[in-house]
Amino acid sequence: MNHNMTASSEIAQRIAELRDTINQHNYRYYVLDQPTVSDARYDALMQALQALEQEHPDLVTSDSPTQRVGAQPSEAFASVTHLVPMRSLSNAFSEAEVTAFNRRVREGLQRAELLAGDAAVEYLAEYKFDGLAVSLRYEQGRLVQAATRGDGETGEDITHNVRTIASIPLRLRGNAPDTLEVRGEVVMLRSDFARLNERYARQGERLFVNPRNAAAGSLRQLDPQITAQRPLRFFAFDWGRWSEEDALQTQAQGLQALADLGLPVNPNHVVVSGVQGLLAFYDAAGQARAALDYDIDGVVYKVNDLAAQQALGYISRAPRFSLAHKYPAQEETTRLLDIEVQVGRTGAITPVARLEPVFVGGVTVTNATLHNEDEIRRKDLMIGDTVVVRRAGDVIPEVVAPVMAERPESARAFVMPTQCPVCGSAIERPQGEAIARCTGGLFCAAQRKQMLWHAASRKALDIDGLGDKLIAQLVDSGRLQSMADLFTLTAEELRHYERLGEKSANNLVAAIDQARQPSLARFLYALGIRHVGETTARALAEAFSSLDAVMQASPEELLTIDDVGPVVAESIHQFFSEAHNREVIAETLAAGLRIQRPTAPESAAPAASLAGQTFVLTGTLPHWTRDQAREKILAAGGRVTGSVSGKTSYVVAGEAAGSKLSRAEALGVTVIDEAQLRALLGE
3-state secondary structure of 351: strand
The type of residue at 293 is D
* CB 673, CB 654: distance < 8 Å: yes
Cβ density class 233-264: b for 16+ within 10 Å, e for less: bbbbbbbbbbebbbebebbbebbebbbebbbb
* CB 610, CB 633: distance < 8 Å: yes
d(CA 481, CA 449): 9
* CB 563, CB 541: distance < 8 Å: no
CA dihedral (562, 568, 573, 575) positive or negative: negative
459 is catalytic: no
Q: How far apart are the first and last CA of the chain?
A: 60
* CB 214, CB 230: distance < 8 Å: yes
d(CA 182, CA 312): 22
* CB 382, CB 353: distance < 8 Å: no
3-state secondary structure of 600: coil
d(CA 405, CA 364): 25
* CB 580, CB 504: distance < 8 Å: no
Cβ atoms within 10 Å of 146's Cβ, excluding its own: 25
Residue tagged active-site, from 128, 326, 632, 660 = 128
Q: In 528-565, which ranges are continuous DSSP H helix?
A: 534-543, 547-552, 555-558
Torsion of CA 395, 396, 400, 405, to 10 degrees: 70
3-state secondary structure of 678: helix
The type of residue at 518 is P
d(CA 601, CA 606): 11
Total residues belonging to the chain: 683
* CB 26, CB 68: distance < 8 Å: no
d(CA 130, CA 295): 5
* CB 649, CB 616: distance < 8 Å: no
Compute CA distances 162 → 533, 584, 656, whole Å. Answer: 32, 43, 33
Any bridge partners for residue 272, and if so which?
A: 123
Q: Which residues are catalytic?
A: 128
